[in-house]
């Protein structure tokens, strides 16, 4: 599957579960290990965990299981490594604190749809 198509599909699924503030960053020029970062916000810890679980199940359903995940149960910052797409799902406070958009500010932003 095309990595950008996968990123957009994961965004669509997350937004259906009420994820907010969607950003897709094209990090191909900066990182040899992945193509895109998907950055999303969940409104609370429970929602972050629920969206993360849904995205992991979707990757498995597509036959591309997540290579790993971290923080799903804690609900502040969940990372889902889908190889060509890495999803960062934050609580609002964690997203502001870690500021991945600022850290990767030179990476082009891609329209989610």
User: Which CATH number belongs to the domain containing residue 78 in this structure?
Assistant: 3.30.460.10
109, part of any domain: no
46, part of any domain: yes
Helix pair angle (45-61, 3-16), 10° resolution: 140
pLDDT score recorded for residue 36: 97
pLDDT tens column, 74-88: 778 999 999 899 999
Q: pLDDT band for 66, please (50, 70, 90 cuts).
A: low
Cβ contacts of 84 within 8 Å, gap of 6 or more: 3, 6, 34, 35, 36
Cβ contacts of 29 within 8 Å, gap of 6 or more: 107
33, part of any domain: yes
pLDDT score recorded for residue 18: 96
112, part of any domain: no
Question: Rounded to an integer, what distance in angstroms lies between the CA atom of residue 55 and that of residue 12?
Answer: 10
pLDDT score recorded for residue 67: 74
Question: Rounded to an integer, what distance in angstroms lies between the CA atom of residue 23 and that of residue 83?
Answer: 18
Q: pLDDT band for 65, please (50, 70, 90 cuts).
A: low
Is the pLDDT assigned to residue 72 strictly greater than 80?
no
Q: Is 2 helix (H, G, I), strand (E, B) or coil?
A: coil
18, 34 Cβ separation under 8 angstroms: no
pLDDT tens column, 4-63: 999 999 999 999 999 999 999 999 999 999 999 999 999 998 899 899 999 999 998 888
Domain count across the chain: 1
43, part of any domain: yes
34, part of any domain: yes
43, 90 Cβ separation under 8 angstroms: no
Domain of 47, in residue numbers: 3-104
């Amino acid at each position: 599957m095309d990595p950008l198509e996968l990123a957009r599909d994961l965004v669509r699924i997350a937004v259906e579960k009420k994820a907010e503030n969607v950003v897709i960053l094209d990090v191909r020029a900066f990182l040899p290990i992945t193509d895109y970062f998907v950055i999303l916000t969940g409104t609370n810890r429970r929602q972050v965990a629920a969206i993360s679980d849904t995205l992991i199940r979707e990757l498995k359903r597509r036959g591309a299981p997540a290579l790993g995940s971290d923080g799903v149960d804690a609900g502040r910052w969940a990372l889902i490594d889908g190889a060509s797409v890495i999803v960062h799902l934050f609580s609002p406070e964690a997203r502001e604190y870690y500021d991945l958009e600022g850290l990767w500010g030179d990476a082009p932003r891609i329209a989610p749809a």
